Amino acid sequence: MANVVMNPSKKKKYRSQKAAARTSLIATYVVLSILALIWIIPILWIVLSAFRGDVRGTVNSNYFPSTYGVGNFVELFTSHGENAIAGVDYAFLKWFRNTLIISVVDCLISTFLVLSVAYCISKLRFKMRKAFMNITMILGLFPGFMSMIAIYYLLKSIGLSGNTGDSAWLNIVGLILAYSAGAGLGFQVAKGFFDVIPTSLVESAKLDGCTNFKIFWKIILPLSKPIIIYTALMSFTGPWMDFIFAKVIIGDGAPEMWTVSVGLYNMMYGPQPDSSLFTVFAAGCVMVGIPIVTLFMALQRYYVEGVTAGAVKG
Amino acid sequence: MADEVMTQEKKPNFFVRFGRGFVNFFTKSIPNFFTKKIPAFFVRIGHWFRDFGLRFVDGSIGTKLSHFILGAGSVYHGQFIKGLIYFGLQVLFVLYMVLCPAITGPNGVQVPTGYKSLINLQLAGQDAHLPEGSGGRWTPGGGIIPADSSILMLLLGLVTIAIIILYIIVWLSNIKSSYIADTAVKEGRKPSSFKEDCAALLDNRFHILMLTPTCLAALVFTVLPTIMMICIAFTTYNATEMTGITELFHWNGFDNFASLFNSKTDSALGIEISKRFFPVLGWTFIWAIFATFTCYFGGILLAILINKKGLWGKKAFRTIFILTIAIPQFISLLVMRNLFDINGPINSILQNMGVSKSINFLGQSTTLETVYPANVAVVRIMVIVINMWLGIPYTMLMTSGILMNIPADLYEAARVDGTSNVKMFFKITLPYVIFITTPYLISSFVGNINSFNTIFLLTEGGPAVTGYQAGETDLLVTWLYKLTINKGDFNTGSVIGIFTFIITATITLITYRRSKAYNEEDTFQ
């Protein structure tokens, strides 16, 4: 915050102020560098572990590996079938495919639901509007796990969860439903965005005889690129980040249908944990991390915009 | 905005206001609810019934008929397609209720829907429409424990209730539509055609078209499951009582709630619950407070450092911190868990520096536990510190934008008065940021109470407490998980879920209802 106030008549004071500013700047560099190092250490460590020379290594005490190689990545993509150690076949490509399918479909459904609800709540006035907002807020206060277990039973009773064998892919349909069904209730950030679009724009369009649908489609949506991208980014990355919903709904029964998070967790801590899979796990983390981080970095601007808006809206 | 901050500063501090809000909630809001809101509600219901009666008396034959046969009014007014849709829905409803199509439950038990599912809601065992002693109980994660189908009976009963409610809504809308057509005829207009009705869905009634998918999806996947879990809190659905297995579980009133406070309960579970409930609750609060405020203030400080004037390489520093947000959380957490492992690199570095024995940072309960006993305080601090690693970049990102928006003249004025940097931080920066981000602060506190991933993936609740399920770092939600998914004590899990809801709801209602964001929600446009 130290901003230097120019005062040519007191040159000496100015000089000392300048020195003070420089010291504080240097101090800031030192502190920031130390912090950056703290934030980098774990990330670098997992990347280094992934490139360890010894394939199927356990967690060991060296931060820097003694030998380097890509054996763990090869191991990750090689299906061992029946011969898999500890009986778990880590079909990483299949987990990746599953997660990709889930996140694309979820992204499409969720973005549509969120935007439509946010537009209605923000720009239309109707009888149940306030009631709808209050109910949504109250529903959001129940811990997700309570409903998660009931959702499991619900999906199970219509055959979309807990399947094994040939029908195991139905679990994925169930998971998509579970992810995207409630999405419409998370409209707050998008609503905050629509609130800022001037209502006069909507009103003048209405005077010109536009229907509400046309206003939404032709006027609001083209103005909402940032929030569309933010909503899509959030719902797309959701399935890559979520762990527990996927674990409960897909179950441990059908390894081919796991998502990456369930698969990677089960490698290390699952029903048949295997601590020697650590380096393979690290390789998996890198493979999942790269696309998601790239996506995030590319769309950083929109993410920051959404996060800042969310801070004010809660 | 500047004026608001200045007036904000004159107000008593956050905690005093929160305290007052808390007292007001009980002395004003709640009595107000009973003396004004509830009577007003009944008056509205009275009016509604009056209007309903008037419509029946005033309406045409079509309107009168449509009270019994859906779509009759529409057909009477020549709206054939609409009438057919209404009638079709009625036929479907009646068929569902009378024919009771059965859903195949575990072990092939046929559990009926329709009116029989309402009878089954009594959960009365032998009287239910189920073959006695057959069936099985599903457990999340796969497998069937031979037990009963009560869970499906409960679910289908609730589904039937939801269908009845939806039917009532359709029934009312059918009467209303007929009545509107009546009025149109009286006024000499033509009743709306099907085409016009569809066009209205894209214009005046656009919200109906747009909100229906969300409402239906939320009803099935949010409301129904929540109500079902609340119901389970009032049943005997737990592992201990389900081991005999020929019975169905049944309602047991408030017994489960009582066992939270009653240490003299006979069952092992009752003892676990009563002994561990308050410690877990206490730690949940400590965790939520520390996790929220460390990340919040840490993030603000980091944002101030990064946004310092004249600092070169802002973008590089920001990118490093944003990297942490971009990496999926389960990966970061599992990486941390391995980094701080008993055999992990951190411990080996410490040993190189002269520490004699590995520290059990994360309360690992392995066979090594006796060699490396875990210190509860250390584990708890570690969890909070690792959470800072995860949370600070996020707050940094969020407050960066806000910091840049603080009017510069505020600082200029302060600098002219000779205010020190530290004082400016506490008198200008902090009040401003807190003022803007109060809603976030509340939602992040609530989020931390429910912060399942951090605890589950780092410590799994460990260090374990001998003889009990809930470990020293278990939050209410992770305990809920252990009780339900691992052990099958669904009723106790639900009770804990309800408690968590009550806590979070109280905090949120008190603070949100008083906040600008809520009260002036639609004035700002």
- pLDDT (tens digit, 9 = 90+) per residue, B27-48? 887 888 888 888 888 999 999 8
Q: Is it the case that residue B247 has pLDDT exceeding 60? A: no
Nearest CA in chain A to B424: A1
Residues of B in contact with A143 (CB under 8 A): 450, 476-477, 480, 497, 500-501, 504
* A101 CA: distance to closest CA in chain B (Å): 17
Pairwise pLDDT comparison (B195 vs B124), residue with the higher score: B195
Give B112's contacts (C-beta < 8 A, 6+ positions apart): B100, B101, B102, B120, B129, B156
Residues 402-461 of B with CB under 8 A from A: 402, 411, 415, 421, 424-425, 429, 436-437, 439-440, 442-443, 446, 450, 452-453, 456-457
Least confident interval from A22-26, A215-219, A243-247, A274-278: A274-278
Nearest CA in chain B to A198: B525
Q: Is it the case that residue B126 has pLDDT exceeding 70? A: no
Assess contact for A98 and A258: CB atoms under 8 A.
yes
According to the model, what pLDDT value does residue A81 have? Answer: 56
With both helix axes pointing from N to C terminus, report the angle between B430-449 and B2-10 in degrees, rounded to the nearest 10: 70
The CA radius of gyration of chain A, in Å to the nearest whole number, is: 26
| DSSP states along B76-133 | HTT-HHHHHHHHHHHHHHHHHHHH--EEE-GGG-EEE-HHHHHHHTT--GGGSSS-TT
How many Cα atoms are found within 13 Å in the side-chain-facing hemisphere of B453?
Answer: 24
Domain boundaries, chain B: 2-58, 61-253, 268-517
Provide the token pair at B84: 């057919």
According to the model, what pLDDT value does residue B264 have? Answer: 61
Q: How confident is the model at residue A99 (pLDDT cuts 50, 70, 90)?
A: very high
Distance from chain centroid for Cα A105? 15
According to the model, what pLDDT value does residue B148 have? Answer: 53
According to the model, what pLDDT value does residue B132 have? Answer: 41
Pairwise pLDDT comparison (B268 vs B55), residue with the higher score: B55
* Minimal Cβ distance to B155: which of A32, A154, A198: A154
Interface test with B, best of A40, A41, A138, A146 (most B CBs within 10 A): A146
A148, B225: Cβ pair inside 8 Å? yes
Provide the token pair at B355: 């520490």
Q: Is it the case that residue A55 has pLDDT exceeding 90? A: no
Q: How confident is the model at residue B19 (pLDDT cuts 50, 70, 90)?
A: confident
CB of B213 less than 8 A from some CB of A: yes
Distances from the Cα of A167 to the Cαs of A26, A93, A104, B266, in angstroms?
62, 19, 21, 44
Counts of helices then strands in chain B (DSSP H, E): 25, 4
Q: What is the pLDDT of residues B143-200, one digit of tens each?
A: 444 445 677 888 888 999 999 999 999 999 999 888 888 888 888 888 888 888 888 8
Hey, what domains does chain A have and what are their CATH numbers? Answer: 11-77 (no CATH), 91-313 (1.10.3720.10)
According to the model, what pLDDT value does residue B109 have? Answer: 67
Q: How confident is the model at residue B524 (pLDDT cuts 50, 70, 90)?
A: very low
A182, B218: Cβ pair inside 8 Å? yes
Assess contact for B2 and B491: CB atoms under 8 A.
no
Least confident interval from A289-293, B218-222, B234-238, B466-470: B466-470
CB of B322 less than 8 A from some CB of A: yes
Assess contact for A175 and A246: CB atoms under 8 A.
yes
According to the model, what pLDDT value does residue B509 have? Answer: 79
Q: What is the pLDDT of residues B434-473, one digit of tens each?
A: 877 877 888 888 889 988 889 999 988 878 887 777 888 9
d(CA B65, CA B59): 10
Q: Exposed, middle or buried: residue B101 (CB in 10 Å: 0-12, 13-18, 19+)?
A: exposed
Least confident interval from A28-37, A254-263, B215-224: A254-263
> Helix or strand or coil: residue A159?
coil
Cis peptide before B463 (omega within 30 of 0): yes
Pairwise pLDDT comparison (B15 vs B350), residue with the higher score: B350
Interface test with A, best of B37, B160, B210 (most A CBs within 10 A): B210
Least confident interval from A18-27, B384-393, B431-440, B516-525: B516-525
Assess contact for B473 and B461: CB atoms under 8 A.
yes
Q: Is it the case that residue A137 has pLDDT exceeding 60? A: yes
Residue B354, by phi and psi: left (phi above 0), alpha (psi -120 to 50) or beta? Answer: left
* Minimal Cβ distance to A211: which of B202, B213, B393: B202
Q: What is the pLDDT of residues B313-369, one digit of tens each?
A: 888 888 888 888 889 888 999 999 988 988 888 888 888 888 888 788 887 776 655
According to the model, what pLDDT value does residue B154 have? Answer: 86
Positive or negative: CA dihedral B74, B77, B81, B87: positive
DSSP state letter for B373: P
Q: Is it the case that residue A188 has pLDDT exceeding 80? A: yes
Q: Is it the case that residue B495 has pLDDT exceeding 80? A: yes
According to the model, what pLDDT value does residue A31 have? Answer: 92
According to the model, what pLDDT value does residue B336 have? Answer: 92
Q: Is it the case that residue B141 has pLDDT exceeding 50? A: no
B508, A137: Cβ pair inside 8 Å? yes
Q: Is it the case that residue A153 has pLDDT exceeding 60? A: yes
* A213 CA: distance to closest CA in chain B (Å): 5
CB of B481 less than 8 A from some CB of A: yes
* Minimal Cβ distance to A213: which of B141, B203, B304: B203
The CA radius of gyration of chain B, in Å to the nearest whole number, is: 30
CB of B368 less than 8 A from some CB of A: no
Distance from chain centroid for Cα B110? 33
Residues 52-81 of B with CB under 8 A from A: none
Q: Is it the case that residue B245 has pLDDT exceeding 80? A: no
Assess contact for B109 and B100: CB atoms under 8 A.
no
With both helix axes pointing from N to C terminus, report the angle between B206-218 and A92-123 in degrees, rounded to the nearest 10: 140
A241, B328: Cβ pair inside 8 Å? yes
- Rounded to the nearest 5 degrees, what angle is found at the Cα of B388, between the Cα atoms of B284 and B508? 45
Instruction: Give the length of chain B.
Output: 525
B225, A61: Cβ pair inside 8 Å? no
Assess contact for B153 and B248: CB atoms under 8 A.
yes
Supply the pTM of this predicted model: 0.83
Q: Is it the case that residue B251 has pLDDT exceeding 90? A: no
A58, B322: Cβ pair inside 8 Å? no
Q: How confident is the model at residue A109 (pLDDT cuts 50, 70, 90)?
A: very high
Confirm or reject CATH 1.10.3720.10 for domain B268-517, answering yes or no: yes
Residues of B in contact with A141 (CB under 8 A): 446, 501, 504-505, 508
The ipTM is 0.86
Pairwise pLDDT comparison (B214 vs B108), residue with the higher score: B214
How many Cα atoms are found within 13 Å in the side-chain-facing hemisphere of A22?
Answer: 6
d(CA A132, CA A138): 10
d(CA B5, CA B411): 13
CB of B229 less than 8 A from some CB of A: yes
Assess contact for B146 and B245: CB atoms under 8 A.
yes
B305, A296: Cβ pair inside 8 Å? no
Nearest residue to B93 (alpha-carbon basis) of B70, B119, B67, B73: B70
DSSP state letter for B362: T
Instruction: Give the length of chain A.
Output: 314
* B306 CA: distance to closest CA in chain A (Å): 8
Q: Is it the case that residue A194 has pLDDT exceeding 70? A: yes
Percent of chain B surpassing pLDDT 70: 84
d(CA A137, CA A143): 12
Nearest residue to B174 (alpha-carbon basis) of B53, B63, B57: B63
- Rounded to the nearest 5 degrees, what angle is found at the Cα of B429, between the Cα atoms of B424 and B435? 140
Q: Is it the case that residue B12 has pLDDT exceeding 70? A: no
According to the model, what pLDDT value does residue B235 have? Answer: 84
d(CA B414, CA B92): 73
CB neighbours (10 Å) of residue B231?
A: 20
Residues of A in contact with B494 (CB under 8 A): 146
B138, A243: Cβ pair inside 8 Å? no
B332, A1: Cβ pair inside 8 Å? no
Residues of B in contact with A124 (CB under 8 A): 206-207
Least confident interval from A52-56, A141-145, B184-188, B268-272: B268-272
Q: Is it the case that residue B53 has pLDDT exceeding 70? A: yes
Q: How confident is the model at residue B254 (pLDDT cuts 50, 70, 90)?
A: confident
Provide the token pair at B105: 């439950």
Given the structure tokens 């209502």, which residue do they identify? A199
* Minimal Cβ distance to B335: which of A46, A116, A313: A46
* Minimal Cβ distance to B328: which of A59, A278, A288: A288
B440, A314: Cβ pair inside 8 Å? yes
Q: Is it the case that residue B513 has pLDDT exceeding 70? A: no
- Pair type for strands B110-112 and B102-104: antiparallel
A120, B397: Cβ pair inside 8 Å? no
Q: For residues A230-262, b (16+ Cβ closer than 10 Å) or e, as one string?
A: bbbbbbbbbbbbbbbbbbbbbbbbbbbbbbbbb
Average pLDDT, chain B: 81
> Helix or strand or coil: residue B145?
strand
Q: Can you tell me the mean pLDDT for B290-307?
A: 92
According to the model, what pLDDT value does residue A8 have? Answer: 52
According to the model, what pLDDT value does residue B9 have? Answer: 47
